[in-house]
Structures are given as C-alpha cells and as structure tokens.
Amino acid sequence: MTKPLPTGGPASGIDERHPPIKARRVSFDWSATPMHWIPGDPVATHIINSFHIVLPEGEKWFIQCVKDARPHIKDERLLEEIRGFIGQEMVHARSHQGVLDQILERNGIDVSRITGPAARGNADRPRQMEELKAKNPRAWRRRLRFELAAVASIEHYTAVLGQWIMDNERLDKAGVDPTMLDLLRWHGAEEVEHRSVVFDVYKAMGGGYATRVAAWLVSLFFLYWALIGGSLYLLRHDPTIKKRVTFPRVYRAYRRSVRLGHVPGIFKLLLGEAPVYLKPGHHPSQICSTPRALEYLLKSPAAQAGGYDPY
C-alpha cells in the first residue's frame, strides 16, 4: 500500500520532515455539500464519514499525549516539530467537527452516542494522568509510552491513507464534492508531513519494540471497530436509505466501492501495512512522500485561502 519515497529517506541523509511543520488557517463552507458527497455511493461516503466521527476527539487525545511528553523532550528540533504537530491537529479536530455539525446533523444524523463517551474520556484523562503521576511515576511513564505507541500506530495509517487520497484521481472522476475532497486531501497531506513526530516522541520517551507491537494490536482493533461500527451506525441512521441495512448488503456495496476506487481496501490496508510498520528498523520517513504532500498543499483551495507558504 505504501510507496517508496521518490527522493530522500534515511539512507540518503535527507530529512523528509522539512520544511518546518506549521498549522495552516483553513476553513470550509459546507453549505453546498450534499449528504452523499460521493455521488451514488452512500456506503463509501459513510465509510469515510466514520473518520469524521472519531477524528475530532481522537486528535484531541493525540495532542494530550504529546503535551504530556513534551516537558521530557530535550531535542530542540523535535520540540519545534511538536509545536507544529499540535497546531495542525487542533485545526484538524475543528475542521472535522464542522462536518459533524454542518452536514451530518443538518441531515438528521446524531452521532453524540459515539462522540459523547470519547469527549468524556478526554475530559477525564488529564486528572487521571496527574493522579497516576503523583502516585506512581513509573506507571505514569509506562501508560504514556503505551498511548504514544498507539498514537504512532494510528498516525502510520493516517499517513498511508493521506497518500492514497492525494494520489487517487478516480475520486475526481467520480464527481466527489470538491470541498470535501479538498478537506480530505489537505488533511492527508498534513498527515504525511508530520508522520514522524509522534513516533520520534515515543522513541525519545524510551519506547521499545515490544510496546510498539502491543499498541499496534490495540490500535488495529480500534480502527476496525471505528470503521465497521461507525459506517453501519451512519448507514442505519441515514434518513435517505430506505432498505434494511445489513452487514452482507453493506459488504457487497463496499466491495463495489473498492473496485471503483472510492475507498481503499480497508481490511487489506490494515493488515497489509503490518510488515511495514512492525519492521524492527522502521521509521515513518521511510514511507509516503513529503514532496508530494507539499505539492498538494501548494494547490489546495483551503490552504491557499489561508495564506499557505511552504517556506
């Protein structure tokens, strides 16, 4: 699924994370975006919409984990990248929340049953971590390392998906709503751009291989739950869908969407990336392409409207 870097990578001595990571002031107008923004394909639409559900709170959790680790990081370059990462993730969370508020809610789909528990978990986490740190600093550090490893696993997949959506011209041919396509590609480009940050924070906190593998397994189950459960929930609550939503019927439609290039082969992607991510010597700079991400950001309508300058 992943592609080798066209230039650079660790062997060449070129740091693929240049130029410095920074947040971009983007905004999106959803007033003209239809419910099924992939025309004629509600299943593919809602598979991707399931990401919109988990990302606002998920990005906030990513930020909390990195903020907890930041006081223990000594490398100035990494601290600079952490600042850019946090800024980007804050904008990501806000942008995906806009989809929930202005597209799903407008069309009668309430996702608070899913987002509510996640929001409460995020609200409780700082207190829990402070109490754990005061009671048992070693246990606090173990928990933080595990959470960072889980986030690093998820960041691997978001980078791979970001590369896929930037390179997938069949979405343009399918007539995908241009505002939604720009959001997905802008977000994907930034995921590729900052793909190394959490992994490097994890390593700087003393993270080892065994924890990385264990956290990947947990992340894999979470991603399957989010994609399958979230998609079925959205399809069953979509007021425009009159037929009974069953897993076999949705799976057949999903296979058609994969053949059309509207969504990647999710099951193949999640397991197929295991040999890449779980390689002992893996580093995120070995996958995807920062030049390709910057190329898209130079033409992204949202990034350009926000005054994006890559240098």
Is residue 18 very low, low, confident or very high in pLDDT (cuts 50, 70, 90)?
A: low
CA-to-CA dists, residue 179 to 122, 143, 173, 209, angstroms = 29, 39, 15, 40
Which residues, including other chains, have CB under 8 Å from residue 167's CB and lie 6 or more apart? Answer: 292
Classify the C-alpha dihedral 154-156-160-162 as positive or negative.
Answer: positive
Do the Cβ atoms of 153 and 209 come closer than 8 Å?
no
pLDDT score for 309? 59
For residue 240, pLDDT over 80 is answered with yes
Phi-psi region of 302 (alpha: psi -120 to 50; beta: other; left: phi over 0): alpha
CA-to-CA dists, residue 29 to 26, 34, 99, 107, angstroms = 10, 12, 10, 16
- Separation between Cα atoms, residue 51 and residue 158, nearest integer Å: 10
Tokens of 197: 């940050």
State the average pLDDT over residues 92-115. 95
- Separation between Cα atoms, residue 151 and residue 16, nearest integer Å: 20
pLDDT, tens digit, for every residue of 34-79?
A: 999 999 999 999 999 999 999 999 999 999 999 999 999 999 999 9
Q: Residue 173's CB: how many other CB atoms inside 10 A?
A: 10
Is residue 114 very low, low, confident or very high in pLDDT (cuts 50, 70, 90)?
A: very high
Q: If you average pLDDT over every residue of the chain, what do you get?
A: 92
For residue 4, pLDDT over 70 is answered with no
pLDDT, tens digit, for every residue of 144-176?
A: 999 999 999 999 999 999 999 999 999 999 999
State the average pLDDT over residues 1-9. 37
pLDDT score for 8? 35
Do the Cβ atoms of 85 and 194 come closer than 8 Å?
yes
pLDDT score for 20? 82
Question: pTM (2 decimals)?
Answer: 0.92
Tokens of 182: 């720009």
For residue 3, pLDDT over 70 is answered with no
Do the Cβ atoms of 290 and 17 come closer than 8 Å?
yes
State the average pLDDT over residues 10-15. 40
